Amino acid sequence: MRVRDYQKGYNISEVVSKIPTPTSAAVEIGPPMLGLNFRLKPIDIAINETSYCKNARIWRNYIEPRPGLTLLASGFDDTIMYIREFVTSADVNYLIVITLKSLYYSLNLTTFARLPWYYSTGTVTTSASSPTVTGSGTTWATNARAGDRFKCDADDTWKTIKTVDTNTQITLTANYGADRSGVTYKIDRYFSGDTSNTFWGVTIADVDYFCFSQGIDPVLYVNVDVDQVRRLSADCPSAKNGTLFADRLIIGNLTNLPFRTQWCARGSYTDWTGTGSGFKDWVADPQEITGLSVAQGILVLYKSYSIGHMTQTGRSDSPFNYDEVRVPAVGLYYPSLFFSIGDADIIASSDNFYSYDTRNINAIGDDIKDNFLQRIDPSYIETAHALVAEEFAEAQLYFPTVDNTTPNIAWVYNYGMNIFSSEWDLAANASGYATQKVSESWDAAVGSWDSDTDIWDSSQILASTPLNIIAKGTDLYKLDTNALTDAGTEFTFEWWTKELGAKDFKVLETKQITIMRVVVFYYCSVSSTLNCSLSGDGGKTFTTEKSASLTYDEPDKLQTAFFSFNHTYDTVIVRFRASNSRFQIVRVRVEGIAVGDIIS
């Protein structure tokens, strides 16, 4: 067929029908589907890489829409800051959720109880007709603040503190309403700080303590009784970092001493002055301590621009040796973008992402580092956080872009493939995981009678399938691979091929009228629609999308979807998009059929 005739108005489907399926002018993409590459131009990246990938997950070398969200719990008293599992020596699993104000816990992942943090030293006198409370033996200047709650033990109604006037006087927002003299009382304290103060937490299995701090309040803990929050020790200060090492709690970056580590006596977590306790000022590098980790029997201490080591001596009076600047020029610049995989830590430094295993430091973010550094807002780096989803061999790195005060996107690092694979439009102010529990039998209601087995249902722990959790504001969600939306809000899966040019397609050597056929090989288990379009100008504009309904009645069968376009450019990018869908793209074939030269 002559191109001149084609230009006179032949139907594109008729043209395609008269041309046999090509075999030589085809490009195969995947498996595996590879990650993002911002380092090179889209036309120069590898055939399986991409310059744009959003709301996607690479798993088992295939690409699929990221998981949606399902609401777990809501109604917390302020912004959720920290999520951590507390597993006791009796294998009881508590999910700990810390907000800006309070600590909550749950045994069933749906019902959460707030634990109070009481101050009750001394006695008080109140007047029914006055908001003033007078204390005896109290030190309220450092143990209470405006917004905390107050009541006498003899009464039921809590009142709010308006001001802390002295160690022995507070003023309430309203008259107390009862005359009391020399009675016991409680102040229910809220935590200090704001969203820039990042919490840390550790479980001390020896004594069934969960310890935590955010660098403003002292190190606090809850024990196996989970009845209230308590201070760990009057001699243990607040700290921005904490970890367990050599049977001790090690804390770092103390208030007014950002270069100091301090530790308790061996095996005695409340003794911070006895034999074996101590401190170390890391001053060879004047930067503050940004992280603590333990790997291969070494405590690794991170600063913004260096890495140090602390090792055991075996002596009780001088328990540690120090190598203050083991690695110079590289450190943990973004304190919360820090996680461990096996024996290695992954850290976000000032110029790249690195893997460090106490011996070798390796850059792993060359393909994405420039884009990351341009987009993250350095004013709010403390709000960033990371979630490791071991079942998918990935880490989700949540961070705020410029002009955002809290994390508004996530980048996914596939550590099994050593690639950064996708960007997620998913705002989250905290992340964590919990162990799921399900009924042992067909009857899902735990505690109900099972007629099949004639026994009461109980719970079993599915340790191999952790529940990955994020927080959005005051709400808690689970990442749910069965959810097609974010708790009802649609998100769009989007993935581009590299920019294919003449070196990939001979038919693109000269600008021609070309029939492009895109073949997608996929698995699908729910009703889904995949949209496809082309760009010939490097992704600035795309053709009108064409849609294909994916076959889902045989989820284990590899299926194919076809899209055909006419194309007149010397390069091409193929774009896929989908919403409310669940599928796996195994590979993509792009076929080009040259019809003839363009005649002006």
Instruction: State pLDDT tens for residues 30-75.
Output: 999 999 999 999 999 999 999 999 999 999 889 999 999 999 999 9
Check whether 5 has a pLDDT greater than 50.
Answer: no
Tokens of 167: 């160690």
Tokens of 594: 């040259």
Residue 22 pLDDT: 43
Residue 242 lies in a domain: no
Whether residue 510 is found in the same domain as residue 592: yes
Check whether 7 has a pLDDT greater than 50.
Answer: no
Look-up: residue for tokens 């001979």? 506
Give per-residue pLDDT as tens, 336-371: 899 999 899 999 999 999 999 999 999 999 999 999
Check whether 452 has a pLDDT greater than 60.
Answer: no
Whether residue 122 is found in the same domain as residue 46: no
Residue 570 lies in a domain: yes
- For residue 53, the domain's CATH number is 2.60.120.260
Check whether 408 has a pLDDT greater than 70.
Answer: yes
Pick from 188, 212, 235: which residue ends a domain? 188
What is the tally of structural domains in the chain? 2
Residue 136 pLDDT: 98
Using a 10 angstrom Cβ sphere, with 0-12 exposed, 13-18 middle and 19 or more buried, the burial of residue 418 is exposed
Give per-residue pLDDT as tens, 177-188: 999 999 999 999
Tell me the torsion sign for CA atoms 493, 499, 500, 504.
Answer: negative
Domain that holds residue 567: 3-66+492-597
Give per-residue pLDDT as tens, 264-302: 999 999 999 999 999 999 999 989 999 999 999 999 999
Residue 289 lies in a domain: no
Whether residue 498 is found in the same domain as residue 584: yes
Whether residue 498 is found in the same domain as residue 566: yes
Whether residue 502 is found in the same domain as residue 570: yes
Q: How far apart are CA 218 and CA 220, in angstroms?
A: 6
Residue 155 lies in a domain: yes
Residue 187 pLDDT: 98
13: helix, strand or coil? helix
Q: What is the mean pLDDT of the chain?
A: 90
Residue 501 pLDDT: 86
Query: Phi/psi of residue 157, each to 5°?
Result: -95, 130
Report DSSP state, residue 378: G
329 alpha carbon, distance to own chain's centre: 27
**421 contacts 398 by C-beta, under 8 angstroms:** no
Rg for the chain (alpha carbons), in Å? 30
Residue 316 lies in a domain: no
Look-up: residue for tokens 């067909």? 442
Whether residue 50 is found in the same domain as residue 145: no
Check whether 457 has a pLDDT greater than 70.
Answer: no
Using a 10 angstrom Cβ sphere, with 0-12 exposed, 13-18 middle and 19 or more buried, the burial of residue 282 is buried
Give per-residue pLDDT as tens, 568-583: 888 999 999 999 999 9
Q: How many other CB atoms are found less than 10 A from the CB of residue 180? A: 19
Lowest mean pLDDT among 3-7, 514-518, 582-586, 592-596: 3-7
Residue 396 lies in a domain: no
Residue 205 lies in a domain: no
Whether residue 46 is found in the same domain as residue 137: no
Lowest mean pLDDT among 6-10, 79-83, 219-223, 293-297: 6-10
Residue 505 pLDDT: 75
Q: How far apart are CA 282 and CA 298, in angstroms?
A: 16
Residue 23 pLDDT: 40
Using a 10 angstrom Cβ sphere, with 0-12 exposed, 13-18 middle and 19 or more buried, the burial of residue 548 is middle
449: left (phi over 0), alpha (psi -120 to 50) or beta: beta
Whether residue 124 is found in the same domain as residue 29: no
Residue 483 lies in a domain: no
Check whether 6 has a pLDDT greater than 50.
Answer: no
Which one-letter amino acid corresponds to residue 493? F
Residue 504 pLDDT: 79
Q: In the predicted model, what is the mean pLDDT of residues 546-556? A: 94
Residue 510 pLDDT: 58
Please, which residues have CB within 8 angstroms of residue 80's CB and are 6 or more apart in sequence? 97, 98, 99, 429, 430, 471, 473, 474, 475, 476
Residue 186 pLDDT: 98
**32 contacts 61 by C-beta, under 8 angstroms:** yes
Residue 238 pLDDT: 96
Q: How far apart are CA 279 and CA 154, in angstroms?
A: 44
- For residue 143, the domain's CATH number is 2.40.30
Pick from 138, 173, 188: which residue ends a domain? 188
Whether residue 498 is found in the same domain as residue 564: yes
Pick from 161, 188, 215: which residue ends a domain? 188
Tokens of 363: 């850059």
